[in-house]
């Protein structure tokens, strides 16, 4: 059991894909023994401990390196309820140590060639470029302020390779004409309406066509989920194209779970070439939430923040992750998920701010049923000026039955308050009662400053959306 980390190791240490010399093996062995015992180090070979309050983030079953997922709770990791959410522990310790600001830096994905090897080797190599022992002497004899600056710069050079160069600064899109009508509505100050459709479990496009035709006159864009609940469905890309062909603007959802850095970049080029402009980057549900048999669960190449960073660089700097030039850069309006119900409002606000800094231009939240909790979250976002820098669309849905309400309450990142369920239970028509509560919620939420639109997530009950929009006095293209 490591001394200073909350749980024992989750995964076997990564093994390098190459033979290493006896010296490198010895170095790795020493590092594994020391850092493993003290900080729970997993030998990822791309050390971030100084940025993560000295807790190894590789204990996260999703391998997230930039903060918690939308299912995190103060109690436990949603993938494995027998363990704490390691990211929740990192934030809690960082807050105690006064190091919360360190969590804002956008950290790179793993260089897999280094996993299982010693991170000391990188430090040694960097020290050599600075002049070796004479650099140590200069550092040791410098004034305290200068010493601190040099220390920070030295480790930053190691953890932020030139192909990434992540930081904690905002990276807004340069001035441009809107690339999609959703962006146009939001850029002109309109109130946007989007709706989520779960792609069919068949190869028949009829259901997608029927739903987009039904919603066409009511919404600004339609999201297509990407293998939600880790269950294979028709791809979001195919559904997005079907929507485009039927005159409805799509939002392509891309889950990091099913992508490698190579696959992501290829998909972005392909999607934008097809005319798909809105791209929502998600980390994705863990495979354990889907049906077995599970594939390998320990390889998440990217997280949502890293995906935003990569796509934004492709768009604004016209370059691939490996720094090659892209002659015709993709045009995209980038979005990310907001999680009003996960961990704490402060933690989620920090995470959402990091997404916006990385490139998110709009946020679509998970389902909101608890108005007071949502207001706390919104205030936390406002305090960090997130709502001033991005368009927030609130996730809304009625619930069909009391049984479904209980089921939804158990979904990571969703909370249905007891009062909501009780009101459904007391009603002769729980379904209609939920519709009425949804209309009441819309009426309150749409007036909140900082709310720029609604995102309907009435999965498999999309037919209710036109009624909700009509009865709420909302309309397409920013009308209300």
Residues in contact with ligand SF4 by CB under 6 A are 60-62, 64, 68-69, 71-72, 77-79, 85-87
Least distance (Å) between residue 224 CB and ligand SF4: 24
Q: Smallest distance, Å, CB 337 to ligand SF4?
A: 13
Q: Please, what is the end-to-end C-alpha distance for the chain in angstroms?
A: 58
For residue 450, what is the DSSP state?
T
As a whole number of angstroms, the distance between CA 371 and CA 444 comes to 8
The helix or strand, by DSSP H or E, that contains position 243, with its residue range, turns out to be helix 236-245
CB 286, min distance to ligand SF4, A: 6
Q: Which helix (H) or strand (E) holds 454?
A: strand 451-456
In the bound state with ligand SF4, the residue whose beta carbon lies nearer, of 45 and 68, is: 68
Measured from the Cβ of residue 17, the count of other Cβ atoms closer than 10 Å reads: 10
Rounded least distance, CB 87 to ligand SF4, Å: 4
CB of 323 to ligand SF4, least distance (A): 30
CB of 4 to ligand SF4, least distance (A): 17
Q: Name the residue nearer to ligand SF4 (CB basis): 110 or 234.
A: 110
Report the candidate in 324, 462, 480 with the shortest Cα–Cα distance to residue 400: 462
Q: Residue 18 corresponds to which tokens in the numbers above?
A: 């190459």
By C-beta, is 78 or 333 nearer to ligand SF4?
78
Convert 368-386 into a string of H (helix), E (strand) and C (coil).
CCCHHHHHHHHHHHHHCCC
Nearer to ligand SF4, 219 or 302 (CB): 302
Q: Which is nearer to ligand SF4, 211 or 286 (CB)?
A: 286
Q: Of 7 and 466, which has the nearer Cβ to ligand SF4?
A: 7
Which stretches within 279-399 are classed as H helix?
304-316, 345-358, 371-383
Torsion over CA: 264, 258, 109, 351 (sign): positive
Q: Which is closer to ligand SF4, CB of 90 or CB of 405?
A: 90
Q: Under 8 Å CB-to-CB from 90, ≥6 apart: which residues?
A: 52, 53, 55, 57, 103
**φ and ψ of 336, to 5 deg:** -150, 170
Beta carbon of residue 82, minimum distance to ligand SF4 (angstroms, whole number): 11
**Residues 6 or more apart from 121 whose CB is under 8 A from it?**
24, 27
Q: How far is the CB of 75 from ligand SF4 (least distance, A)?
A: 10
- Least Å distance, CB 168 to ligand SF4, is 20
Q: Which residue has the tokens 């010399």?
A: 21
Closest approach of ligand SF4 to the CB of residue 300, in Å:
9
Of residues 357, 351, 366, 365, the one with CA closest to residue 67: 351
If you count DSSP H runs as helices and E runs as strands, how many of each does the chain have, helices first? 16, 8
Rounded to an integer, what distance in angstroms lies between the CA atom of residue 452 and that of residue 388? Answer: 10
Residue with smaller CB distance to ligand SF4, 56 or 271: 56
Contact call for residues 166 and 106 (beta carbons, < 8 A): yes
Residue 392 gets which letter from DSSP? E
Nearer to ligand SF4, 72 or 438 (CB): 72
d(CA 315, CA 310): 9
Q: Based on CB atoms, which residue is closest to ligand SF4, 67 or 453? A: 67
């Amino acid at each position: 059991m490591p001394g200073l980390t909350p749980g024992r190791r989750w995964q076997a240490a990564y093994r390098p894909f190459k033979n290493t010399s006896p010296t490198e093996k010895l170095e790795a062995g020493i590092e594994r023994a020391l850092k493993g015992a003290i900080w729970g180090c997993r030998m990822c070979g791309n050390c971030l401990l100084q940025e993560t309050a000295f807790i190894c983030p590789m204990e996260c079953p999703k391998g997230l390196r930039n903060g918690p997922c939308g299912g995190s709770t103060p109690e436990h990791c949603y993938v494995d309820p027998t363990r704490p959410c390691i990211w929740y522990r990192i934030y809690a310790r960082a807050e105690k140590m006064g190091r919360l600001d360190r969590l804002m830096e956008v950290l790179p994905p793993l260089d897999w060639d280094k996993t299982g090897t010693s991170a000391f080797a990188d430090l040694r190599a960097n020290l050599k470029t600075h002049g070796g022992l004479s650099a140590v002497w200069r550092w040791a004899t410098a004034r305290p302020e200068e010493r601190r600056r040099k220390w920070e710069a030295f480790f930053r050079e190691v953890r932020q390779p030139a192909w990434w160069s992540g930081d904690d600064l905002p990276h807004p899109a340069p001035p441009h004409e809107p690339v999609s009508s959703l962006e146009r509505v939001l850029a002109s100050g309109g109130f946007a309406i989007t709706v989520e459709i779960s792609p069919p479990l068949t190869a028949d496009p009829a259901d997608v066509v029927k739903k987009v035709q039904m919603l066409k006159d009511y919404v600004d864009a339609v999201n297509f989920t990407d293998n939600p609940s880790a269950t294979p469905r028709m791809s979001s890309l195919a559904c997005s194209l079907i929507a485009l062909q039927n005159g409805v603007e799509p939002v392509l959802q891309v889950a990091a779970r099913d992508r490698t850095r190579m696959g992501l970049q290829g998909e972005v080029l392909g999607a934008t070439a097809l005319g798909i402009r809105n791209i929502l980057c998600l980390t994705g549900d863990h495979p354990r939430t889907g049906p077995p048999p599970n594939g390998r669960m320990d390889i998440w190449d990217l997280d949502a923040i890293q995906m935003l960073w990569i796509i934004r660089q492709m768009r604004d700097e016209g370059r691939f992750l490996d720094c090659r030039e892209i002659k015709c850069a993709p045009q995209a309006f980038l979005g990310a998920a907001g999680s009003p119900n996960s961990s704490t409002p402060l933690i989620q606000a920090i995470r959402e701010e990091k997404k916006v800094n990385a490139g998110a231009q709009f946020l679509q939240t998970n389902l909101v049923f608890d108005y007071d909790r949502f207001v706390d979250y919104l205030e936390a976002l406002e305090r960090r000026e997130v709502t001033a820098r991005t368009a927030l669309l609130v996730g809304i849905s009625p619930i069909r039955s009391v049984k479904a309400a209980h089921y939804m309450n158990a979904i990571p990142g969703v909370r249905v308050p007891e009062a909501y369920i009780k009101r459904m239970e007391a009603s002769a028509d729980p379904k209609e009662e939920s519709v009425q509560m949804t209309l009441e919620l819309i009426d309150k939420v749409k007036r909140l400053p900082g709310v720029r639109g609604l995102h309907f997530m009435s999965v498999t009950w999309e037919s209710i959306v036109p009624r909700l929009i009509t009865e709420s006095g909302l309309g397409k293209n920013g009308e209300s």
